[in-house]
């Protein structure tokens, strides 16, 4: 399948030092799952690129479109996307 984006929106790679993935911690990363989630949260707050990519992934996830979670922390990303979707729905409910 050909991507509609300049990057592959279907692949979420969490392996450290992946140069094209905002989900990839630095090369010297030694943190555990909790540290990764803390790192990703800080990246989300600091980087519009990370927010955009997580938003795109959350949308694909909500529509049950294919996502390929890769790397050491890939199994954590569905939980992150669920959390983002809950927050989006909560914000939409407040605005109604």
Domains of the chain, by residue range, sit at 15-95
How far is 78 from 73, CA to CA, in rounded Å? Answer: 10
Residue 2 has pLDDT above 70, yes or no: no
- What is the per-residue pLDDT across 60-91, written as a single tens digit (0 to 9) for each? 999 999 999 999 999 999 999 999 999 888 87
- What is the per-residue pLDDT across 26-59, written as a single tens digit (0 to 9) for each? 999 999 999 999 999 999 999 999 999 999 999 9
Given this model, what pLDDT does residue 1 score?
53
SS3 content of the chain, % helix, strand, coil (to 5): 55, 5, 40
Tokens for 82, please give them: 């669920």
Residue 3 has pLDDT above 70, yes or no: no
């Amino acid at each position: 399948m050909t991507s509609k984006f300049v990057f592959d929106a279907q692949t979420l790679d969490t392996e450290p030092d992946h140069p094209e993935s905002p989900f990839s911690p630095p090369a010297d990363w030694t943190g555990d799952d909790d540290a990764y989630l803390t790192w990703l949260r800080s990246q989300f707050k600091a980087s519009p690129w990370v927010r955009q990519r997580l938003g795109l992934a959350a949308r694909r996830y909500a529509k049950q479109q294919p996502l390929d979670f890769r790397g050491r922390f890939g199994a954590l990303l569905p939980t992150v996307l669920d959390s983002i979707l809950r927050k989006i729905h909560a914000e939409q409910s407040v605005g109604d």
